[in-house]
């Protein structure tokens, strides 16, 4: 247990956002514990617009509020649907295998299918000697995003 650290829930959240986008060359995540600020730098305008609408501006953890900023600065948004936003946000991200929409009696339902692989996030998990929380990309996405009729799941094919 050489590297076990205690992480606050907002640091774990920041680590999850970093992990979700760590394989995407167009998204870079930076966290400042001093300012309680999570900055998401996006090099692609479509992804920027999508993430600036999908990510909350703040996330509360009890009496602590984490501010979330998507950079560059805002501009007028088109009227893209949540499905279009998720497609833009994850375009080219190797963590996502597919985004599919199916009709249902309750309206269209969209699934964001993530790679079938376990990822490790720096957290304060005392059950791991490195303090990692092992999870799936779908679980990270469920923690970060919320959208009606959008579900996060794991692809049935193996990818490495």
Burial of 39 (0-12, 13-18, 19+ CB in 10 A): middle
pLDDT of residue 66: 96
Beta-carbon-side half-sphere exposure of residue 69 (alpha carbons within 13 Å): 12
For residues 72 and 69, give the distance between their C-alpha atoms in angstroms, rounded to a whole number: 9
Comparing C-alpha atoms, which of 54, 30, 28 is closest to residue 144? 54
**Model confidence over 46-66: pLDDT tens digits?**
899 999 999 999 999 999 999
For residues 104 and 47, give the distance between their C-alpha atoms in angstroms, rounded to a whole number: 28
Lowest mean pLDDT segment, chosen from 1-5, 22-26, 79-83, 115-119: 1-5
Would you place residue 45 in the very low, low, confident or very high pLDDT band (cuts 50, 70, 90)?
A: confident
Domain positions in the chain are: 9-158
**Model confidence over 3-44: pLDDT tens digits?**
667 889 999 999 999 999 999 999 999 999 999 999 999 988
């Amino acid at each position: 247990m050489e590297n076990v650290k205690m992480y606050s829930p907002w640091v774990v959240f920041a680590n999850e956002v970093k992990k979700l986008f760590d394989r995407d060359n167009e998204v870079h995540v930076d966290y400042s514990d001093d300012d309680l600020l999570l900055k998401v730098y996006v090099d692609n305008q479509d992804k920027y617009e999508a993430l600036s609408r999908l990510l909350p501006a703040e996330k509360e953890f009890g009496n602590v509020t984490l501010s979330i900023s998507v950079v560059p600065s805002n501009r007028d948004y088109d009227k893209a649907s949540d499905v279009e936003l998720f497609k833009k946000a994850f375009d080219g991200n190797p963590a996502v295998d597919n985004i599919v929409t199916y009709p249902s009696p309750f309206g269209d339902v969209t699934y964001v299918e993530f790679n079938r692989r376990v990822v490790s996030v720096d957290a304060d998990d005392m059950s791991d000697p490195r303090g990692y929380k092992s999870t799936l990309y779908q679980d990270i996405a469920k923690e970060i995003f919320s959208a009606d009729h959008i579900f996060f799941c794991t692809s049935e094919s193996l990818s490495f």
